[in-house]
Amino acid sequence: MLKDITLGQYFPGNSILHRLDPRVKIVLTVLYIVALFLAKSMLSFVFILCVTVLLVLLSRINLRVILKGMKPILFIMVFTMILNLFFTRGEGEPLVHVAFVRIYREGITTAVYMLVRIVCLLAGTSILLTYTTSPITLTDGIEQLLAPLSVLHVPVHEFAMMMTIALRFIPTLIEETDKIMSAQKARGADFTSGSLLHRVRALIPILIPLFVSAFRRADELAIAMECRCYRGGAGRTRMNRLHMHIRDYGALVCMVLFGAGIVVLNIYTSRIGYGL
């Protein structure tokens, strides 16, 4: 049940995407998102879809896993599609006109574009980042990318450490929640029936033990870190330092080309009059 959530989970592997430098991957993800929102025409959306499929293939992650990760936002997808379908006003005659419902050609295309955008956004970012990058390397990357900010007294290291710890404890807390839920069910707790108020109340026996154990874990972790002489970021060296390889530069160049490609396709289609 709770364990089935895969959004934001790392799948160990050895594909080219797994081996890219985390800093590069973060930059790639940002570029990818910008490119997604630059796309305006049918051709550019087709192009994006192709590149995203390529990313899926490159990551060698089971397609089923990726689709399962999208399940939680299925509702949002459908909702956005419906809104766009019915509320986009276009020029010319509506395709369907029943009572107050008017569907225009533009409505259909916008709805499809939005769907492609959301699917690609989720698939692309999770493949580039969360599925192929272990949380630890990810925060390493973030820390180094933000390192210049420490000149402005931004506590970058502390921020990164907090991220690492938070990420590290998500699965632990999920497991813990599962366990506490089972334990309370064994005492006759019922989380699925009754009025809303009743169901909210039924959560108290889960939330309190969960908070107590989260604080206990935090306490224990703090002591364990102090025992190993952790004093924050100043003067701390690293065992694994990040190095840029040719493949990292190559990936950056590819992504810039990708963004440029979309812009070019946008301009091209608007010239020949296909821009929708």
Partner 1 sequence: MSTKLEVKNVSYEYSPNTPFAASALTDVSCAFEAGMITGLIGHTGSGKSTLVQMLNGLLRPVSGQILLDGRDIWENPKQLSRVRYRVGLVFQYPEYQLFEETVSADIAYGPKNMGLDGAEIDARVREAAEFVGLEADLLDKSPFELSGGQKRRVAIAGILAMRPEVLVLDEPAAGLDPIGRETIFDAVRAYQQAREATVIIVSHSMEDMAKYAERLVVMSESRVILAGTPDEIFRRADLLCSIGLDVPQITRTMMRLSELGLPCRTDIFTIEAAKEEILRLWGKERENA
* Of residues 205 and 259, the one with the C-beta less far from partner 1: 205
Q: What is the CA radius of gyration of the chain?
A: 24
Applying CB under 8 A, does 235 fall inside the site for partner 1? no
- Provide, rounded to whole angstroms, the least separation between the CB of residue 61 and partner 1: 9
Applying CB under 8 A, does 205 fall inside the site for partner 1? yes
Angle, CA 179 vertex, CA 186 and CA 181 arms, to 5°: 55
- Provide, rounded to whole angstroms, the least separation between the CB of residue 179 and partner 1: 7
User: What count of Cα atoms within 13 Å lies in the side-chain half-sphere of residue 58?
Assistant: 17
- Provide, rounded to whole angstroms, the least separation between the CB of residue 71 and partner 1: 13
Which residues, 116 to 155, sit near partner 1 by CB under 8 A? none
* Of residues 158 and 190, the one with the C-beta less far from partner 1: 190
Q: Which residue, chain included where needed, has tokens 């051709």? A: 43
The SS3 of residue 45 is helix
Applying CB under 8 A, does 10 fall inside the site for partner 1? no
C-alpha 177: how far from chain center: 23
* Of residues 204 and 253, the one with the C-beta less far from partner 1: 204
Q: How far is CA 276 from CA 71, 118, 272, in A?
A: 29, 18, 11
Count of residues of this chain found to bind partner 1 when the rule CB under 8 A is applied: 24
- Provide, rounded to whole angstroms, the least separation between the CB of residue 47 and partner 1: 31
Q: What share of the chain is helix, strand, coil (3-state, %, to 5)?
A: 70, 0, 25
Applying CB under 8 A, does 180 fall inside the site for partner 1? yes
Compose the 66-95 pattern: x for residues touching partner 1 by CB under 8 A, - for all others: --x---------------------------
* Of residues 190 and 219, the one with the C-beta less far from partner 1: 190
* Of residues 90 and 205, the one with the C-beta less far from partner 1: 205
Q: How far is CA 272 from CA 4, 35, 43, 113, 268, in A?
A: 47, 21, 12, 20, 6
Cα–Cα distance measured from residue 82 to residue 202, given in angstroms and rounded to the nearest whole number: 35
Q: Measuring CA to CA, which residue among 157, 136, 138, 137 is closest to residue 146?
A: 157
Number of helices (H) and strands (E), helices first, in the chain? 11, 2
Q: From the list 189, 254, 264, 276, which residue makes contact with partner 1 (rule: CB under 8 A)? A: 189
Cα–Cα distance measured from residue 30 to residue 121, given in angstroms and rounded to the nearest whole number: 11
Q: From the list 50, 78, 170, 204, which residue makes contact with partner 1 (rule: CB under 8 A)? A: 204
- Provide, rounded to whole angstroms, the least separation between the CB of residue 274 and partner 1: 42
Q: From the list 10, 11, 47, 131, which residue makes contact with partner 1 (rule: CB under 8 A)? A: 11
Applying CB under 8 A, does 212 fall inside the site for partner 1? yes
Helices (H), 147-203: 156-186, 196-202
Interface residue list for partner 1 (CB under 8 A): 3-4, 11, 62, 65, 68, 176, 179-180, 182-190, 204-205, 208-209, 212-213
